[in-house]
Structure 1
Amino acid sequence: MAKVSPGEFVNQVKTEASKIVWPTGRETVMTAVMVVIMTTLLGLFFFGIDTFFGAIVQWLLGFASGRG
């Protein structure tokens, strides 16, 4: 690996940093809204699955103990 002087390194960093394309404020808000929507939907989905399987386990435990 080639050795680079500190000044040249700073110049390279500035050059690379100028290539960064930052999202607009609208893009950032839209992405945040989509993240909130998707996490809410996934949370509700997994809550439903957990409730369903919890009910099955409770039924099986009750059945195994002779109460079901």
Structure 2
Amino acid sequence: MAKTSPAQFVRQVRQEITRISWANRRETGLATITVFAMATIAAIFFLLIDAILSNVVQFLLNFGY
């Protein structure tokens, strides 16, 4: 593997940065909203599952008493 000098490395990094397709403000906003919506849906889902399983376990533990 050939070693590159620090100056050549910086040039290569700058060249690669110009090739990157950055998201615009609208795409970033939509992605952020999507992430928050999915996180909220997942939180509600797991809250419901936890409540259901908690009630089932509580029922089973108190079944004999």
Asked if these proteins are the same fold (TM beyond 0.5), I'd say yes
Partner of 1:16: 16
Distance 1:21 1:39 in 2: 26
Query: Larger Rg: 1 or 2?
Result: 1
- Higher RCO (C-alpha 8 Å, min separation 6): 1
| TM-score, length basis structure 1 | 0.89
Partner AA of 1:49 in structure 2: I
Corresponding position of 1:33 = 33
Q: 1: distance between equivalents of 2:6 and 2:62? A: 72
- Give the gaps of 5 or more residues in structure 2: none
Q: CA RMSD of the aligned region, Å?
A: 0.8
Count of residue correspondences = 65
Identity value in percent:
42
**1:61 and 1:6 mapped to 2: Cα distance?**
67
Superposed displacement of residue 8, structure 1: 1.2
Aligned pairs for 1:1-68 (under 5 A) are: 1-64=1-64, 66=65
